[in-house]
Structure 1
Amino acid sequence: MQEENFEEKKDVQSMSVEDLFLNIQESYSEAQQRSLDENKLFQKTEFFRMDKFGVYRLRILPVAPNPDGTADRKSYEFPVRQMLLELEKPSTGSKATFMYVTVPRATDAGYSVDVIDTYRRVAVDAAKEMEDEKLAEKIAGGSFGGGLKFNYGHAMYVFDLDERAKGVQLLTLSHSQFKDLDERKFKLWQKKLAKNPHAACPISSVYNAYPVEIEKRKNGAKTEYITSIDNESDNDALSVEELNLLMAAPRIPEIIYRYSRYQFEATLEFLKQCDIKYGLQAFETKEVQEAVEQLRSELPKEDSSSFSFDKRTKESKENANNNGISLDDLFNRFDELKGQGLGDKTEEGQELRALIRTFIEQEKLSVRVTRSTTNQDLLDMIEEAFAGAPDSSAPDEPEERKDENPEETPTQRRRR
């Protein structure tokens, strides 16, 4: 071994200064890969949102391969389980205000335990021990109903065919929306295979994909999404430039499975508030605390992010930019409550109203929240604002204030 090291040193010493530089000269492929890696660090993800009613024409993009030609997943989407945490801010007034943080399931991000899943299991058992089956069912259910079950969706990269120059955007479909699209894809694919045994995916292949159309429309008081594949159009082929753009984009798992210390600390605050909301002491149980410490120990030491209710912190600003509430979130929650027969005056209806107010502030919309406007009115006004219509709220009516009489407009959460 020493002889080999000696020979290497001898060879280096015998090299000219030109040879030393030429020996470490970067090749084209190495420079290209370095550029791609560096660009990923500074590239901001654009999120595609269906904020208005109408038809959206999309080009579904395939999952990009690794630089060595291998593929982690031969598909166009990645499943994702996420939850929008609603956190009540500390307040001295009678009006509750909230902030929202989106978190993925920690186990999907590669960690050994998820604190929310652990808390949910413990809380359900505690509610059953209290013989409160209704509470147990609520906790075990979805977040729209006040529960702790993660929402299941599918994330994919797309081009907006009406604004293709915007480049790669990340779209997340609900599981039902995805299944509708997937079923239509398979039906069309089977027809293509009957004519060509080598036919590729009709919605995401590189050269032979058709546009996907998603129509967002109102059906009475409900909002629905109608998906179709426009196989009457010409095939959409991706250019070399677009393929390079897709290769340079952050990998989808890096975005949807990102779990930071900020999200971890926000989760702890959220679960403490869940104890108050549900009238339990599940957070302090041994099982939950062990899960908390286990996950804390697995977080990267270099992650210095920290949760705070202060909007001025760097992490809070990034959360608002990356995990903001979408109009789809509001409509989905409104439809869910309407389906359960829960009106504006219920606890859940008031929570939705707080969510709507936060969205208006987030998007800086000229929509005024007044005492007489219903949640549906507010959603309609938001739609008009996005469509460029003038503010339709009554100018002569006083804006809903944060200190108004709670008896007339209940805003405080009921404690169990």
Structure 2
Amino acid sequence: MEQEKKARTLHDVFAASQETFDDAKKKSAEESSKRASFFRFAKDGTYAIRILPLAPVQDQDGNFLPLERKGYEYPLRSLMLKIENDKKLVKGKPSITYVTVCNAKYAFKEINADLIDTYVSVACEKYADDDKLCKKLREGSFSGGLKWDSRRCMYIIDLDNPGDGVQILQLSYSQYKDLEERKLNLWGKLNKNGKMVPCPISSIDSAYPVEITRKTENNKPAYSFNIDTVSDKDVLDEAILQQLIDMPRLPEQIYRYTRYHLEATVAYLSQLDEKFDIDVMSEDKVQNCIDQIKTLLPADDQSHFTLGEGKEDESDSDSANDIDSLWARYDALCNDDLDDQTAEGQELRTDIMAYIEAHNLDVKVTRKKSNEDILNEIEDELATAANNRGNEEEEEEEKPDPAPKRRQTPVEEEEDDAEPAQPADEEEDDTPEPERPRSRRERNDDTNEPAARASRRGSRPPRRRD
């Protein structure tokens, strides 16, 4: 009898602890909202987006707090670090590890200054008579300097592909100013005669679609912006508003700074000391800044940067993080006006080929394909593989799959006419494949902004858009 009672008690305990349908839905929503994907302009065309307003923050009691920043965007200053590993050579040169870091003051407002800013300040103060050094340190990352890349980030919905959900769009600062100028001009007209119209591009019920047109000229993408006042205003429904409330706020998505980022920054700055034959890292201001950031890192942050040992969160999603890194490097090259034929472009191509080999992808590399073409094909291949894995998990396992055949190392195969890749001064002979038409119109002038692409996605995205 006692045994029966004990069994019944345990049964009740487990029954009360079982996951309900509502629990499962809530957990699924929380997991899917951990990281938003980044919107990317895959090809030339006009992209219609709906810019979303910033969502208020809730306290522990569920009360909504006043917004620290109103509007639709947050600024982001980031830098791609090019860290050399002379213990591992590639074609006789040190292999390169690329790490993108944001300004540490975004994550830790308590610090006096970011470590990179502190390094530049101390270097230019200590070596004030070396004008070339200070000038070099204030150049872009691909020129060997420490100049921040300034962008603006916002949540958006792709109106042509709303099933992709809420995504993050990154614009360069000049592109953001172009969009802001158009917004303010329109807003001023709408507010004539004492009207109080809400924001015409991000308000919940009075916003128009924004069209972004990508057009490639001389192998260089340019972007133009238009506020589509011809179309109806886009009213956000309760589902989207709830999704914005449930999602992490933009700062949580874009202001990530971990021990991994700190250690990578220290490694890179130490290499600059050696490269320029200077001694800045040992200065008190620099060491105090490092110590200050260390004390603010979460106690459970166990991430570390070690040359040659992969990315910060490689165990979570190896393929996704690697392809993200390749896209980030491609974007940075475009922003610095460095095409595929520069040394940096060729270095990226070599790493793309190594990625194809390492992941056994069925992607053919030819001289006529640009780095962007190959990266898009890799995206297709990864998306197909992810879909196949999902289908296999739903089916009952009947027999083991045959071992996949290992592909040979990818090589740059020549086409029949053996033309060089992306000739700078020649017109392309091949007729481009027809693209899927976008649903919106092209109407504006180009901004001539180099490569205002968004970063790659933090999680595995749907297939790229053609």
TM-score normalised by L of structure 2 = 0.66
Contact 1:51 1:326 in 2 (8 A): no
Which amino acid is 1:176 matched to? S
Residue 286 (structure 1) shift: 2.8
Please tell me whether residue 202 in structure 1 is matched to residue 193 in structure 2. no
1:217 matched residue in structure 2: 215
1:394 corresponds to which of 379, 390, 413? 413
Name the stretch that deviates more: 145-154 or 86-95.
Answer: 86-95
Instruction: Quote the Cα distance in structure 2 between the aligned partners of 1:295 and 1:180.
Output: 36
Residue 78 (structure 1) shift: 0.6
Residue 84 (structure 1) shift: 1.4
CA displacement 1:285-328 (0-9 Å, x = unmatched): 23222221222122222212112334567624559746934647
1:116 matched residue in structure 2: 116
Provide structure 2 residue ranges, at least 5 long, that are not aligned to the other structure: 1-21, 382-409, 419-466
1:146 corresponds to which of 130, 144, 152? 144
2:87 matched residue in structure 1: 91
Residue 41 (structure 1) shift: 9.0
CA displacement 1:43-71 (0-9 Å, x = unmatched): 23211122322222111000011232332
Q: For residues 313 and 83 of structure 1, do their structure 2 counterparts lie closer, same or farther at Cα, with a shift above 3 Å needed?
A: closer
Please tell me whether residue 51 in structure 1 is matched to residue 42 in structure 2. yes
1:382 corresponds to which of 374, 398, 410? 374
Instruction: Quote the Cα distance in structure 1 between the aligned partners of 2:365 and 2:275.
Output: 29
Instruction: Quote the Cα distance in structure 2 between the aligned partners of 1:274 and 1:36.
Output: 45
1:263-302 to 2 correspondences below 5 Å: 263-302=261-300
2:54 matched residue in structure 1: 63
Contact 1:325 1:359 in 2 (8 A): no
CA displacement 1:324-377 (0-9 Å, x = unmatched): 346475255246345xxx995xxxx423432344456568773538xxx6xx96
Which amino acid is 1:160 matched to? D
Q: For residues 201 and 392 of structure 1, do their structure 2 counterparts lie closer, same or farther at Cα, with a shift above 3 Å needed?
A: farther
1:252 matched residue in structure 2: 250
CA displacement 1:146-173 (0-9 Å, x = unmatched): 2112111111100011111111111111
Q: For residues 92 and 190 of structure 1, do their structure 2 counterparts lie closer, same or farther at Cα, with a shift above 3 Å needed?
A: closer
Aligned residues, how many?
352
2:365 matched residue in structure 1: 368
Contact 2:33 2:248 in 1 (8 A): no
Residue 277 (structure 1) shift: 2.9
Higher helix share: 1
Contact 1:125 1:136 in 2 (8 A): no
Which amino acid is 1:382 matched to? I
Contact 2:42 2:376 in 1 (8 A): no
Q: For residues 334 and 171 of structure 1, do their structure 2 counterparts lie closer, same or farther at Cα, with a shift above 3 Å needed?
A: closer
Contact 2:33 2:246 in 1 (8 A): no
Instruction: Quote the Cα distance in structure 2 between the aligned partners of 1:137 and 1:319.
Output: 39
Residue 42 (structure 1) shift: 6.3
Find runs of 4+ consecutive structure 1 residues off by over 6 angstroms.
386-389
Contact 1:40 1:250 in 2 (8 A): no
Name the stretch that deviates more: 350-359 or 134-143.
Answer: 350-359
1:75 corresponds to which of 65, 71, 80? 71
Which amino acid is 2:370 matched to? L
TM-score normalised by L of structure 1 = 0.73
Instruction: Quote the Cα distance in structure 1 between the aligned partners of 2:281 and 2:317.
Output: 24
Instruction: Quote the Cα distance in structure 2 between the aligned partners of 1:55 and 1:362.
Output: 31
Residue 128 (structure 1) shift: 3.6
CA displacement 1:128-149 (0-9 Å, x = unmatched): 43x3x22321102332432112
Q: Which has the higher contact order (CA 8 A, sep 6+)?
A: 2
1:125 matched residue in structure 2: 125
Contact 1:97 1:354 in 2 (8 A): no
Name the stretch that deviates more: 267-276 or 55-64.
Answer: 267-276
Contact 2:333 2:344 in 1 (8 A): no
